[in-house]
Amino acid sequence: MKAIATSIPDVLIIEPKVFGDERGFFFESFNRNQFTELIGREVYFCQDNHSRSAKNVLRGLHYQIQNPQGKLVRVVQGAVLDVAVDIRKSSPTFGQHVAFELSAENKRMMWVPEGFAHGFLVLTESADFLYKTTDYYAPSFERSIIWNDPEIGIQWPSSAAPILSAKDQQAKLLADAEVFA
């Protein structure tokens, strides 16, 4: 496993070492010791989630204001544009984002630590998105920032209008959202 730095130092792209031949491939998708070494601290994952979404579905930008979740995310079928937005008011990168394509083909993962809003847009006919979290889902603390907030300026690749949940249609601008200190 190796870590690839992003423009926001706490967010990392994790690239597994893939062993492949004519039969297929094998890789470790998670190894606690290696992951701890890569991110520089120990985390404990308590929940695994799996979502399947159709093309142009946009999920996010989600976070929990209490019981914040760090997320290790990956795609096992299809491809997404995955986005993390720094919403830690005291951070020098507050309001900035990083975006990377994660796909079954590239097998990359993204580490999105606590204190970030997270979302993704499905680029293929469908995508299966898996993620580990460092805290349990707490719906009463879940918040959303609107996907097209001009202050954040995410360049989503689709010309079609994204398909949003009712909750994500009601998301707030970063300027109006509860954020971390």
Catalytically active residues are: 62, 131
CB within 8 Å of 93: residues ≥ 6 apart: 7, 8, 9, 86
Which residues is 167 bridged to in the sheet?
none
Type of residue at 154:
I
Residues 6+ apart with CB under 8 A from 152: 85, 95, 96, 97, 145, 174
Q: Is the dihedral of CA 26, 134, 98, 39 positive or negative?
A: negative
Report the SS3 class of residue 19. Answer: strand
Half-sphere exposure of 140 (CA within 13 A, CB side): 0
- In the β-sheet with 109-112, what is the strand arrangement from edge to edge? 2-5, 12-15, 109-112, 71-77, 126-133, 47-54
Measure the CA–CA gap between 32 and 50, rounded to whole angstroms: 20
